[in-house]
Structure 1
Amino acid sequence: MLEGVRVLACGGRDAVTLCATLLERAGATVDVCAKDPVDYDVIVVSSDVDRAAGWRSSGEAIVCDITATGPQDSRAGTPWSDAHIQAMSGLMDTTGFAQGAPARIGVAFTEVSAALYASAAIAAAVRVKRRRGIVQNIDVTLSGCAASALTTFLPAAFAGRTAGRVGNRHPACAPWNAYRTCDGWILICTSTEAQWCKLRQEARVPQLDDARFATLGDRVRHADELDALIESWTATLATDACTRICERIGVAAGPIVGIGELSREPNFRMRHAEAAQAIETGGIDADTYKQVSIFQTSALSRTPAIAKPQTGECGGPLAGVKVIEIGQYTTAPLVGKHLAALGAKVVKIEPPEGEVARSWLPGQGGTSYFFALNNTDKETIALDLKQESDRAHLRTLLADADVLVENLRPGALAKLGFTREALGAINPRLVYCSISGFGIASAYPSRPAFDTVIQAMGGLMDLTRGEGAPVKIGASGADILGGQAALFAIVARLATRSEEADEAGTFIEIAMQDVAAWCALFAAGRERPRGQALACLDGHVWVERDITDAERACCIALTRKEAAARLGGATPVARVDELLQDGDFLADVLSAARDANGAFWPVLKVPYRLSKTPASVRAVPGAPHRIRRVRPATAPAPVPEDRPA
């Protein structure tokens, strides 16, 4: 993928370390902290932490600078930590239980996110350098990465509302929570009425038939009572038994796996046997995470490839690339959004009724803000892939595509006739990326997976604690990180690809549990940072040092601003709705796009800036274009031979 690319990583941030690991995994040769920056293709630095380590004017090398905030931010230049950025950005305020304090995400989420976006941006810049001879600088900010993770919370802010913490619940679905079992915890997530009915019948708790739980809205309003009743059932079962029951009835569920138990988790052990053995033998250290790969690549098929005609390119780094996206919600749409921002033509395939997320509230003009944030700059087409005519249209789209990315359940696309071999026959050069919860080769081939379940089974929830109990990352952390891993793998594959050569197609597999475990093991192999959120009159402040009882008592009588000034080094924990009054957020993160009707939409800038071929967010798609089905023409009546035609 990136073979032949020489990288120098010289920065103190975790993001620089992780970026180097990712680039090396993709085939690059990586050196760390060499004194002479000569003869490198890429240099990765963190100038706010290591001010003397930047070679922005190197001339021949792509220089990627990963910092806490952007150069135009009023807080620029300060080496803010990941936890400080979590506090400033609203991420911290979305994590934790509703009645408790904000919780720091247990992995350095913004550092990890910055590493993934930086790696993708570097791969894009390598492509531009090789194809156009352009060398450029890249800036990546932790604050921008944090904002990019808020797509489930910003819609409420756009509508003038406050989105509070929900712990392990879902704001619009119930039952959806962590429940105690007789030997641990289990996450249970229902998203449809059918799933709720099956769970209710299986639990056999008479009170669940009560009118309080008749509709989804009723269940959300009475979530406290509902959760208590569900737990009265789960508490009688072992975690494994409860999980098997949920799998049998098609309800997403899974145990909260402790980081020390990860090596014994069946799917992790199946997919990463060597890492599991190393953990059991020597425990978790600073390099353990490197034994877990966040993506797998293999040949798409045995079909010979044919060189693609090369066209003149201008614009974004991926100009001339055609992408087909089949997916919904977060993971595949996130990939498509960034590929489009980088200049690719992205065609999103939606079901005939449109993606479900289009109708989520709030929004405008019949489209949700959530959908708009995740699907900018795409062409959208409605296809019913159960119909042969629509499958034929998809085959036509794929014939000259460069990339297919999807997040359907494993095997779903193959059942429609689009196996890897079939895709290779349609387009031997195709880069096909499949994103799923547990992977294609899985210990759970029939288990559905949601973000919350993957957080639980990947170790993220065990490391993130609210009031001492495991709690999910407020943002859809597993979905987002899985999408970012797919983005990097795809762009890295495109970076050094020659359009003139007969290069075979590639299959890229992303298992979100792999990515979650990679992040969790990285965090577990390092010293846990100190810090706590202290209550104030109008919220909380984050402090990264030990606090006395007197200081804690003092904060209760102060505003966040006053407490931050009094304590020194404390950071106010911002609410998401407050970001819309923050000058730095408005200038550096928020942007506006238009739809086909000329209406304006609030959207987010990408958190990476390429100096000469920038990525850009421009438009929000309208309703999906519907393909007109053509009925077979009726055969003309035969003309008798004794008559003129």
Structure 2
Amino acid sequence: MLDGVRILAWGSRQAVRLGATLLERAGAQVTFAQAQPAGGFAYDVIVVSSDVSAASERNAIAELKAAGKHIVCDITATGPQGARAGMRASDAQIQAISGLMDTTGFAHGEPVRIGVPFTEISAALYVCASIAAAVRVKRLHGIAQTIDVTLFGCAASALTTFLPAAFAQRTVGRVGNRHPACAPWNAYRTLDGWILICTSTEEQWRKIKSVAHVPQLEDSRFDTLRARVSNVDELDALIETWTSTLTTDECSHLCEQIGVAAGPIVSVAGLSSEPNFRMRHADAAAQIDACGIEGETYRQMSIFSMARLTDDVSLEPRAGVESSVRSCDAGPLAGIKVVEIGQYTTAPLVGKHLAALGAEVVKIEPPDGEVARAWTPGQAGTSYFFALNNTDKQTLALDLKQQADRAHLRTLLADADVLVENLRPGALAKLGFGREALGEINPRLIYCSISGFGIASAYPARPAFDTVIQAMGGLMDLTRGNGQPVKLGASGADILGGQAALLAILALLADPARQAGTFVEISMQDVAAWCALFASGNPEQEGIAVACIDGHVWLESDERFDVAALAASARRERCGSLSRASAVAALVNAGVSAVPVARVDELIEDGDFLADVLSVARDASGAFWPILKVPYRLSRTPARVRAVPGAPARYAEETSRGSPSRWGMVEAG
């Protein structure tokens, strides 16, 4: 991993502190500095946040970047270029100007600040992943480079659920605890509280209907996913007539039995008594019980775990192909082969970034393709959502219930460096691809399993979606609209879980001489709880969203203005009768920290978004697609996002119908 890498964490942003904590977990030697260290820099990597540094420190940072002797990673709010260059924005202000805040909250309420510093946490994870990639390049090629990561880019990258509507020139609004493309998906009242229920397939919908016994659910208005989304108000009311007859536990257990994701809203303070958290993190739970949640409580748990892939020491690791790859032109991961078996967001996010960094990624899909391909809006039968999450991959359709297709997968894995999947725990093992079997196939493989609750879990049969994990990981408890828990508009648990997996994989790949196979486990609930504990122990500045005639503005408290004073200032400046731009100008003139709350559909006309985040790619037929750049910039070996996959290919022993890749795929006819 990063053993022996010396890192200086020199910056006041939370992303610097969080990143240093994660880098320590990955084996690095980390030194923290509050001020510019005297003397020379005896470090391999220096992590800074120049936008909130003093002028003299910014000069020193510029000199370090120019010298080219260290990997220098700079975390800023908006980057060194563009109209907002140098903006000393807080996490909440970035949530506001990026559109992230406007996606969180209820449809008829105000935008809600995410209750954890989401953009700082996301930046910390991308920082660590990109540092690991840069360390790999330095070890292979002797090249030190600079890395720039922006909070704005991290925020915009999290909008993959909402940007498709903007691409289709539709207005994007808040959906509360719903999903804009799936239904039923919401928080429903029970006899003693609330239950989150999430469905995404027709099979799950049929199962809910079968146990709910509500005749009106058979109405033709709910026959298709599109129809259910269009009639979601009526649908949710009918679902609640069923859930309200059960306790939360009864409803959770029933949903678990039929394979539908569901769970209660857990408070951060209640994490220590939540069965799965307590089982997996007994020490952290005991400390919370004894001392409450403090500033360092989050450090008592890790967001990833690693173990040997197999205990069979007689298995000989195969020779690695990566050692023969000496050109860095194709990216930090040139020569690395990845198999991805995933859907929706989490594992696909990992595969997308590994591909952007130069790896050859093969995505395994069901025979009919991933369900998310058919979501709307999109073009040519493929959703914008799928395109955003699966750039630069080869896609392959396999029916893993068939012996021949499992044999094809086995061949791929024998020549792979990484396998990443987000299936239910044990699903691959049932198909003959458990840890021991994978170790026999490829003793050098990095196998990363991402699941909602982990392999060793109090809920071994419970499926999980992002919203359920947000509820059961404490994120919804900290994020509230008018006092009611509400999920992050973005798929926060999915995204942060994928980022944790990306970090762990890249930390392992940072050692080109690595030989032993490794099993990496990511529990999305672990990651969510880690974030919630950090936020609870390290509270952010408070603020309020204030309505204007064309939207909202975000006002942030400071030593002069508490929340009550902010509200008074907004009334005094008559913000309700002003545009956002005029309101911000009036408030700033009055000494109040204020920024506009952008809508996602407005990003398409935002110069910084167009220049730094949005890009265009082609698919195999030559059609153009809007895609997102990665939010980290490596100066010498940049990550590149270039292509959108077409229909999944088929694996063929006979390749007469096309030109196969090294892994023997030809396009489906």
TM-score, normalised to structure 1's length? 0.94
1:13-28 alignment to 2 at 5 Å? 13-28=13-28
Q: Is the 8 A contact 1:389 1:629 kept in 2?
A: no
CA distance in structure 1 between the partners assigned to 2:535 and 2:575 by the alignment:
30
Distance 1:214 1:339, change over 3 A: closer
Aligned partner of 2:421 in structure 1 is 406
Query: Cα deviations across residues 112-142 of structure 1 (Å, max 9, x unaligned)?
Result: 0000000000000000111100011110000
- 1:563 and 2:583 aligned: yes
Q: What is the CA–CA distance in structure 2 between the aligned matches of 1:552 and 1:373, rounded to whole Å?
A: 41
Q: Distance in 2 between matches of 1:548 and 1:540?
A: 13
How many Å separate the matches in 2 of 1:368 and 1:212? 23
Counterpart contact for 1:313–1:320, Cα < 8 Å: no
Structure 2 Cα separation of the partners of residues 324 and 195 of structure 1 = 27
5 Å matches for 1:246-325? 246-301=255-310, 302=312, 303-309=315-321, 310-314=323-327, 315=329, 316-325=331-340
Equivalent residue for 2:633, pick from 598, 603, 609:
609
Contact 1:88 1:571 (C-alpha < 8 Å) held by counterparts: yes
Contact in 2 for aligned 1:489/1:508 (Cα 8 Å):
yes
Once residues 248 and 297 of structure 1 are traced to their aligned partners in structure 2, the CA distance between those partners, rounded to angstroms, is: 30
For the residue of structure 2 that corresponds to 1:27, the secondary structure is: coil
CA distance in 1, matches of 2:478, 2:387: 32
- Structure 1 distance, partners of 2:233, 2:149, is 41
**SS of the counterpart of 1:72?**
coil
Pick aligned residue for 2:187 from 153, 161, 178: 178
Amino acid at match of 2:647: A
SS class of match (2:178)? coil
Please report how far the alpha carbon of residue 354 of structure 1 lies from its aligned counterpart in structure 2 after TM superposition.
Answer: 1.5
- Indicate the residue corresponding to 2:455 in structure 1: 440
Whole-Å Cα distance in 1 between the matches of residues 517 and 569 of structure 2? 64
The residue aligned with 1:230 is 239
After superposition, residues 129-278 of structure 1 pair within 5 angstroms as 129-205=138-214, 207-209=216-218, 212-278=221-287
Structure 1 residue identity aligned to 2:159: L
Q: Is the 8 A contact 2:106 2:481 kept in 1?
A: yes
Q: Distance in 1 between matches of 2:219 and 2:84?
A: 54
1:103 to 81, 102, 112: 112
Q: Which amino acid aligns with 1:604?
A: L
What whole-Å deviation, never above 9, does each CA across 1:158-199 have from its counterpart, x for those lacking one? 111112111001223322111223332211112234433433
Is the CA contact (8 Å cut-off) linking 2:387 and 2:645 kept in structure 1?
A: yes
Equivalent position SS for 1:556: helix
Tell me how far apart the structure 1 counterparts of residues 596 and 27 of structure 2 sit (CA, whole Å).
Answer: 42
Relative to 1, partners in 2 of residues 1:133 and 1:421: Cα closer, same or farther, differing over 3 Å? same
Distance in 2 (alpha carbons) for counterparts of 1:375 and 1:232: 38
Q: Is the 8 A contact 1:286 1:525 kept in 2?
A: yes
CA shift for structure 1 position 550: 6.0
Distance in structure 2 (CA, Å) of the matches to 1:343 and 1:210: 49
- Residue 385 of structure 1 contacts residue 391 of structure 1 at CA under 8 Å; is this kept in 2? yes
> 1:498-541 CA distances to partner (integer Å, 9 max, x unpaired)?
06xxx210000011000000111010001242111100101100
User: 1:636 aligns to what?
Assistant: none
Pair 68,383 (structure 1): closer, same or farther in 2 beyond 3 Å:
same
CA RMSD of aligned residues (A): 1.8
Give the 3 Å change call, closer, same or farther, for CA 225–28 of structure 1 in structure 2.
Answer: same
Secondary structure of the corresponding residue to residue 179 of structure 1: strand
Structure 1 residues 287 and 356, CA gap change in structure 2 (3 angstroms): same
Whether the aligned pair in 2 keeps the contact of 1:407 and 1:436 (CA below 8 Å) is yes
In 1, distance between residues paired with 2:217 and 2:317? 58
Select which of 462, 476, 492 maps to 2:491. Answer: 476
Q: Contact conserved, 1:266 with 1:443, CA < 8 A, in 2?
A: yes
Asked if 1:598 is matched to 2:622, the reply is yes
Deviation sequence 1:400-426 (CA, Å, 0-9, x none): 211111111111111111111111111
2:448–2:520 Cα contact (<8 Å) kept? yes
Counterpart of 2:30 in structure 1 is 30
Q: Is 1:584 paired with 2:608?
A: yes
Contact preservation (8 Å) 1:321, 1:401: yes
Q: Which runs of 5+ in 2 are unaligned?
A: 558-562, 655-669
Kept after mapping to 1: 8 A contact 2:117/2:540: no
Structure 1 CA distance for aligned equivalents of residues 540 and 325 of structure 2: 50
Distance in 1 of aligned mates of 2:614 and 2:357: 18
Q: Report if the CA contact (8 A) 2:11-2:53 is conserved.
A: yes
Larger displacement relative to structure 2 (455-464 or 27-36): 27-36
Indicate if the aligned counterparts of 1:534 and 1:552 stay in contact, CA closer than 8 A.
no
Determine the C-alpha separation between the residues in 1 that align with 2:218 and 2:618. 47
Q: Is 116-125 or 579-588 further displaced after alignment?
A: 579-588
CA displacement at 1:339 relative to structure 2: 0.5
Distance between the aligned counterparts of 2:470 and 2:53, measured in 1?
33
Separation in structure 1 between the aligned mates of residue 625 and residue 653 of structure 2, nearest angstrom: 33
| Selected match of 1:363 from 355, 378, 403 | 378
Counterpart residue number, 2:8: 8
Counterpart CA distance in 2 for 1:137 and 1:171 is 38
Give the Cα–Cα distance (whole angstroms) in 1 for the partners of residues 601 and 617 of structure 2.
Answer: 20
Distance (whole Å) between structure 2 residues aligned to residue 331 and residue 183 of structure 1:
32
**What SS does the corresponding residue of 1:44 show, helix, strand or coil?**
strand
User: How many angstroms apart in 1 are the aligned matches of 2:650 and 2:223?
Assistant: 36
Give me the whole-angstrom Cα distance separating, in 2, the residues matched to 1:322 and 1:308: 11
How do residues 118-133 of structure 1 correspond to structure 2 at under 5 angstroms?
A: 118-133=127-142
- Counterpart of 1:455, as a letter, is Q
Give aligned pairs, total.
628
**One-letter code of the match for 2:317?**
A
Q: For residues 424-477 of structure 1, what are the alpha-carbon distances to aligned partners after superposition, in whole Å with 9 as ceiling and x for unaligned?
A: 111110001011111111110100100000000000001001121000000110
SS in 1 for 2:65: coil
Q: Would the alpha carbon gap of residues 517 and 616 (structure 1) be closer, same or farther in structure 2, given more than 3 Å must change?
A: same
Moved more, 242-251 or 534-543: 242-251
Residue 589 and residue 280 in structure 1: after superposition, are their counterparts in 2 closer, same or farther (change >3 A)? same
Q: Which residue of 1 aligns with 2:121?
A: 112
Structure 2 counterpart of 1:374: 389
Q: Does 1:552 align with 2:571?
A: yes
Q: 1:517 aligns with which of 529, 539, 553?
A: 529
| In 2, Cα distance between equivalents of 1:595 and 1:190 | 30
8 Å Cα contact 2:419-2:447 kept in structure 1 = yes
Paired with 1:116 and 1:323, the residues of 2 have a C-alpha distance of 20
Q: Name the SS for the 1:198 alignment partner.
A: helix
Per the alignment, in what secondary structure is the counterpart of residue 570 of structure 1? strand
Give the drift of 1:319.
0.9
Confirm or deny: 8 A CA contact 1:434 1:509 kept in the other structure.
yes
Secondary structure of 2:51's match?
coil
SS of alignment partner, residue 21 of structure 1? helix
How far residue 266 of structure 1 moved from its aligned partner, in angstroms, is 0.5
